[in-house]
Each structure stands twice: as C-alpha cells, then as structure tokens.
Amino acid sequence: MQASADNNIDLRVARGFGREWSSFRQDEDHLSQQQRQAIFDDYFRIFPWHLLPPSGGVGLDVGCGSGRWSMLIAPRVERLHLLDPSPAALEVAKHNLHSAKNVSYHCHSVANIPLPSRSLDFAFSLGVLHHVPDTQAAIAAIADKLKPNAPFLIYLYYALDNRPMWYRLLWRVADLVRFVVSRLPHPLRLAISQSIAVLVYWPLARLARLLTEHGRSATALPLSYYADKSFYVMRTDAYDRFCTHLEKRFRRSEIERMLAGAGFKDITFSNQEPFWCAVGIKSP
C-alpha cells in the first residue's frame, strides 16, 4: 500500500525522504553554519517573531526531515516539537539536535499530530505539504493545534505564476524527468539526481554568480537562487526535486485561499525567493 488517505500520507514519499535525509544529513560537517543561516533567513525573513511569548513559546516543525531548520529555532524557544512520518528522518534529526534539551520527536503524519488543540504558539512547514495527498487538510490539521493569533510559516512549491511562459515550459520538461526518475530504484535515483546537480545546477548557478559579479541581473536565469549556495545544497535539492514521485505546485492565490480556508488571517507573502513563502496568523 503506497498511500493512506486516513493519515494524509503517501508511504512511498515518506520512505523516500527517509533515504534522502540519511544520504544528505545536513549536519555541521556538510552544511556550514553560515550557509544554513543564510538559507534559514531566506525562509524566515517574513516570520513575525514579535508575536511569540517572551520565552519563545512552544512550536512545531511539520515534516522536520533532518531537523536542519529546527537546529536554529530550538535555541530561541521554550519547547519545539519535531514531527515526521519517517523513522529514518527522525533519527537524523535526533543526531543533529542531540545537544538540544527542549525538543520532542513525533513519528506521525500531519493528520495525526499528537498534541492538544490550541496548544502551540507557532508552527512552520517548509517544503513538505506539497508532498501529501491533501494539502488543504494538512494545513487545517496544523491550524487546529495553534493558539489564536499564533503564526504559521509555510513554503509550498509554487506554480511559477510569476515567471514567463518559456520558464514554465522548461519546468514541464524537468517535471517529466522527475516523473521518470522518481520511479526508479533508489541507487539509480541518487546517481541521476547527482548527475543533474553536476551538469545542470552547478553550471547555471555559477553562471548566475558570474553575471552578478559583473553587475548583471541573473534573476531570470533558472536556478539563479543557487548562485551563492554550496554544491552540497545543490546536490541535496537536486535529489529532493527529482526523486519524489508525489509533487504538487500552487499559485499564490491558491496558497492564500487554503490558508484562509483553514482559519488564517493577515496572510503575508515573501516577494523574494523562495516563492511563495507565506505566513498566516491563526484567527481567534
């Protein structure tokens, strides 16, 4: 059985992410503190830290994976819950946060968050909920656990709705490659994704860096986001992008509608990459 509607989880996807984070552990030996902080800031630049209690409050990382973002959140909050349906991913997260004494780990799907309703001061889910069968239901499940006026930060793969037609057509080609690669055995998926990182990600990223260094804008260039990223980040993201068989993309208007439908107000979007990172405030 590959999917469970009751648990809003695709079991094949969960196993795949367990393999991903076992291969790309995102620990300090592979991802520098400076690089981790820079990417963290890209996602969290719109997060309303001022809405949290003085202690930092109690939060939830939905689909924590390797725990790479929780490593930076845990030191500034009272307690942090890490949720992931993959036991293998949670083992990596436990290793990466071994020194944190204020974290708890939960091997559950987003449909079965083992926390009381209205118990959380904040939550975040980055690059996860486009990989579940029912994204709207997942957002609603998280909303149920948040206190009134608690912020929720979400990043979903976007539908390239702010990009030109040629860019979207190029993505369709890449998505066809993903469709094929994601259905191969893990060793082949790993080998092909790493080849893509070498032959596509790295050259385009370095071209973007070169253009930027010469005072030219590189924002229209595919993968320009990686201009200042390490090759390890490119390798990780190439695996993530091409090795997951269930992937959905959403327009900004669709993300806003799902958040509003789950009871979030004052929805704010980042106008910088990664698009469309969004924050919603739980309505009273």
pLDDT in tens, the chain (284 residues): 344 446 899 999 999 999 999 999 999 999 999 999 999 999 999 999 999 999 999 999 999 999 999 999 999 999 999 999 999 999 999 999 999 999 999 999 999 999 999 999 999 999 999 999 999 999 999 999 999 999 999 999 999 999 999 999 999 999 999 999 999 999 999 999 999 999 999 999 999 999 999 999 999 999 999 999 999 999 999 999 999 999 999 999 999 999 999 999 999 999 999 999 999 999 99
Residue 7's pLDDT is 87
pTM score of the predicted model: 0.95
DSSP, res 77? S
Residue 6's pLDDT is 61
Length of the chain: 284
CB under 8 Å to 9, separation ≥6 — which residues? 3, 85, 109, 110, 111, 132, 133
* Of residues 97, 54, 94, the one with CA closest to residue 77: 54
Q: How confident is the model over 9-62, as pLDDT tens digits?
A: 999 999 999 999 999 999 999 999 999 999 999 999 999 999 999 999 999 999
Cβ-based burial of 199 (10 A; exposed 0-12, middle 13-18, buried ≥19): exposed
**Angstrom distance (rounded) from CA 123 to CA 127:** 14
CB under 8 Å to 98, separation ≥6 — which residues? none
